[in-house]
A = this chain, B = another copy of it.
Amino acid sequence: MSTEHIHPIFDRLLSREDRERQLKQRSKVLWLTGLSGSGKSTIAQGLEHRLYNAGYVAQVLDGDNIRSGINSNLGFGLEDRRENIRRIAEIARLYLNSGIITLNSFISPTIEIRNFAEEIVGASDFIEIYINAPLEVCESRDVKGLYKKARKGEIRGFTGIDSPYEAPLNPALEIRTDQLSLEESIETIFEYITPLIKQA
């Protein structure tokens, strides 16, 4: 880490701006919403690479590092789903204040639950990205075999099958993963966010 252009600070708490200056970026919360199988996590991981290779400091938050850790004591009932999203949004807010860009990949199926996350993060820092593919496409991918189980009734309340998915009404960006390649999807988001995360 280079210390050039960093003014030493002694007499007050470090601010988000101090941290952003240190990391030579502006922090944002990218919120990727979409059906299971829409490609959210694959895109988030690819975008994390893309940002890293361009010198940005970013972190994916997804089921792999959240559900297995801090939210391991939550189930899939309505109240626990809300608490799941609340904690994720609070963690994204901590990272935001640390100057770090987070790439949050969660189905977050309802408008209400995404509004809730946005309220916690703050509207000016919350970038909603709709990762969209038709249900048939997501179901045909079925990487984890979850749709098959949901169709058999082995999983209840599965989004898209017996639980609704409400598409964002006004997302910052919509990515049609049945029409764009993975590289195109990543590049579209990268180009969209670059002016937002670049230091002036």
Q: Judging by beta carbons under 8 Å apart, are B53 and A9 in contact?
A: yes
Q: Which of A51-107 contact B (CB under 8 A)?
A: 52-57, 59, 61, 65, 69-70, 73, 83, 86-87, 90-91, 93-95, 97-98, 100
Q: Which residues of B contact A1 (CB under 8 A)?
A: 23-25, 55-57
- How far is the CB of A163 from the nearest CB of chain B, in Å? 25
Q: Judging by beta carbons under 8 Å apart, are B52 and A69 in contact?
A: no
Chain A 35-54 interface 0/1 with B at a Cβ cutoff of 8 Å (1 = within) = 00000000001001100111
Per the CB 8 Å criterion, the residue count for chain A at the interface is 41
A14 interface neighbour in B22, B52, B90, Cβ under 8 Å: B52
- How far is the CB of A120 from the nearest CB of chain B, in Å? 8
Q: Which residues of B contact A65 (CB under 8 A)?
A: 94, 97
Q: Which residues of B contact A95 (CB under 8 A)?
A: 98
Asked if A13 is at the interface (CB within 8 A of a chain B CB), the reply is yes
Q: Judging by beta carbons under 8 Å apart, are B69 and A9 in contact?
A: no
A54 and B24 in contact (CB under 8 A), knowing A94-B91, A98-B100?
no
Chain A 1-23 interface 0/1 with B at a Cβ cutoff of 8 Å (1 = within) = 11100101110011000110011
Alpha-carbon distance between A19 and B95 when the two chains are bound, in angstroms: 15
Alpha-carbon distance between A61 and B94 when the two chains are bound, in angstroms: 9
Q: Judging by beta carbons under 8 Å apart, are A22 and B69 in contact?
A: no
A52 and B18 in contact (CB under 8 A), knowing A1-B24, A57-B23, A98-B59?
yes
List the 9 closest A-B pairs by CB distance, nearest first. Answer: A70-B90, A1-B55, A3-B55, A8-B53, A1-B24, A69-B90, A59-B98, A70-B87, A9-B49
